[in-house]
């Protein structure tokens, strides 16, 4: 074993550095974080190769920073499964830095003990890296343990028993999280959807609560369907889908006419991915419904005169609620069959879709109920990290 003493910004001997670069072909265009003014590199040589260690320090790289604690914890859990992180061999940490006022919650990746391996593993993240004292890393590891314990405390209140205001706040964070982690965004799949903003998530959460109460729907149905359909983002789908019908109706996009029938475009719309023809059906249900729609906020009320090209995103939430209520009635309250039929239709319910909705709803329930244990108070406000 041989120690190399490194001082005043000298990294380590040129030969070892060049060999490391050549061996791992790593490249990070971002500048490295300032290195400690004095540290030691220890080369451990064995039959399996050479390991480079830095006693008293470890390599770390910051992955992301967030303002909100619950959102930060959700992203921390998600990033653990993010391929470059999951395959790095390192440990992901959730930390809190009170000196950072804008985004004090930091997700940090702690590299392996071997310096060369660690650099090669974090390079694909393109975030730069630094050598962090062991004392700081131990503090970060303890913070991570506390966050994980706090967000896994036993549930005290079921989702159904939470006050509307608190439920809306938790649901807002879940909506933001699901839209930000949509794989189409990470993979840049065209057309790349735009994540919902904080304001949009807050409004949608409130609308879902209102519509679920108005139609006497389990909130989980709307939460699950919204997640599975489009991760709560307003994007058109099924762009090539079309149907044949006897005659065109106002607003129909006619693609073909044959033998007294017409083929019209039937793409899906918005957060709830309701097709154009299903929108017509939903409006017909509303027109025959006996509920007092003046009890809904004006922005959620379907208009008396239907214009298929002028349905607002908020009214679309009401139509989705009406459709789900109708399906629940058709299937005599069987939630699984109702949500399965939302995708496959009443004659051919898509049970795989229904199972996906159920998983998304259960995820949301876990997030909301575990966050509610803290009663809206951040972990750091309970002096656990001080």
Last-in-domain residue among 150, 183, 217: 150
Shared domain check, 106 and 72: yes
- The pLDDT value given to residue 350: 97
Answer yes or no: is 330 within a domain.
yes
pLDDT per residue over 366-384, tens digit each? 999 999 998 878 887 765 5
Answer yes or no: is 118 within a domain.
yes
Sole residue written with tokens 């006497």? 216
What are residue 255's phi and psi, to 5 degrees?
Answer: -100, -25
Answer yes or no: is 104 within a domain.
yes
Most confident of 24-33, 52-61, 322-331, 373-382: 322-331
Shared domain check, 185 and 126: no
Shared domain check, 344 and 290: yes
| pLDDT at 312 exceeding the cut of 90 | yes
Structural domain boundaries, residue 348: 159-235+270-373
Shared domain check, 275 and 215: yes
Domain count, the chain: 2
Shared domain check, 31 and 6: yes
Higher pLDDT, 29 or 252: 252
Of the listed ranges 8-12, 103-107, 136-140, 298-302, the one predicted with least confidence: 8-12
CA–CA distance, 181 with 367 (Å, rounded to integer):
15
| pLDDT at 42 exceeding the cut of 90 | no
Shared domain check, 185 and 74: no
Shared domain check, 189 and 134: no
Q: Which DSSP symbol is given to 17? A: H
Q: Which DSSP symbol is given to 262? A: E
pLDDT per residue over 157-211, tens digit each? 999 999 999 999 999 999 999 999 999 998 888 888 999 999 999 999 999 999 9
Shared domain check, 142 and 93: yes
Reduced DSSP (H G I as helix, E B as strand, rest coil) percent helix, strand, coil of the chain, to 5:
45, 15, 35
Answer yes or no: is 100 within a domain.
yes
Buried b (16+ CB within 10 A) or exposed e, 67-93: ebbbbbbbbbeebeebebbeebebbbb
CATH of the domain at 175: 1.10.530
What DSSP string runs through 70-100? HHHHHHHHHHTTSHHHHTS-SEEEEEE-TT-
Shared domain check, 87 and 15: yes
| pLDDT at 23 exceeding the cut of 60 | no
Burial of 151 (0-12, 13-18, 19+ CB in 10 A): buried
Answer yes or no: is 243 within a domain.
no
Answer yes or no: is 319 within a domain.
yes
Answer yes or no: is 342 within a domain.
yes
Shared domain check, 351 and 292: yes
Shared domain check, 143 and 287: no
| pLDDT at 22 exceeding the cut of 50 | no
pLDDT per residue over 342-354, tens digit each? 998 999 999 999 9
Last-in-domain residue among 116, 150, 184: 150
Answer yes or no: is 199 within a domain.
yes
Shared domain check, 163 and 84: no
Last-in-domain residue among 106, 133, 150: 150
Q: Is the separation of the CB atoms in 367 and 74 below 8 Å?
A: yes
């Amino acid at each position: 074993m041989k120690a190399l003493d490194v001082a005043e910004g000298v990294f380590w001997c040129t030969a070892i550095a060049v060999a490391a670069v050549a061996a791992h072909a790593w490249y990070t265009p971002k500048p490295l974080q300032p290195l400690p003014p004095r540290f030691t590199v220890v080369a451990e040589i064995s039959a399996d190769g050479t390991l480079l260690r830095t006693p008293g320090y470890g390599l770390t790289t910051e992955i992301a920073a967030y303002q909100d604690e619950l959102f930060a914890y959700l992203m921390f859990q998600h990033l653990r499964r993010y391929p470059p992180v999951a395959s790095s061999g390192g440990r992901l940490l959730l930390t809190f830095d009170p000196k950072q006022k804008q985004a004090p919650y930091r997700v940090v990746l702690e590299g392996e003990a071997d310096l060369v391996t660690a650099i090669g593993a974090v390079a694909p993240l393109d975030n730069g890296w630094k050598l962090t004292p062991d004392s700081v890393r131990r503090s970060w590891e303890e913070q991570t343990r506390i966050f994980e314990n706090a967000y896994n405390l036993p549930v005290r209140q079921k989702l159904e028993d939470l006050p509307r205001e608190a439920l809306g706040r938790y649901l807002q964070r879940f909506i933001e999280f699901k839209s930000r982690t949509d794989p189409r965004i990470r993979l840049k799949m065209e057309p790349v959807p735009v994540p919902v903003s904080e304001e949009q998530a807050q409004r949608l959460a409130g609308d879902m609560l209102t519509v679920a109460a108005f139609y006497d729907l389990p909130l989980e149905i709307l939460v699950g369907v919204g997640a599975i359909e489009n991760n709560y983002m307003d994007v058109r789908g099924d762009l090539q889908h079309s149907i044949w019908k006897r005659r065109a109706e106002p607003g129909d996009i006619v693609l073909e006419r044959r033998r007294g029938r017409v083929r019209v475009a039937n793409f899906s719309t918005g957060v709830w991915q309701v097709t154009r023809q299903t929108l017509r059906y939903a409006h017909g249900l509303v027109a025959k419904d006996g509920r007092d729609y003046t009890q809904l906020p004006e922005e959620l009320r379907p208009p008396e005169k239907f214009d298929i090209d002028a349905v607002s995103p908020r009214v679309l939430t009401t139509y989705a609620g009406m459709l789900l209520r109708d399906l629940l009635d058709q299937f005599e309250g069987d939630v699984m069959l109702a949500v399965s039929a939302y995708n496959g239709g009443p004659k051919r319910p898509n049970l795989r879709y229904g199972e996906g909705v159920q998983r998304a709803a259960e995820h949301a329930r876990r997030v909301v109920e575990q966050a509610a244990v803290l009663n809206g108070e951040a972990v750091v406000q309970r002096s656990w990290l001080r």
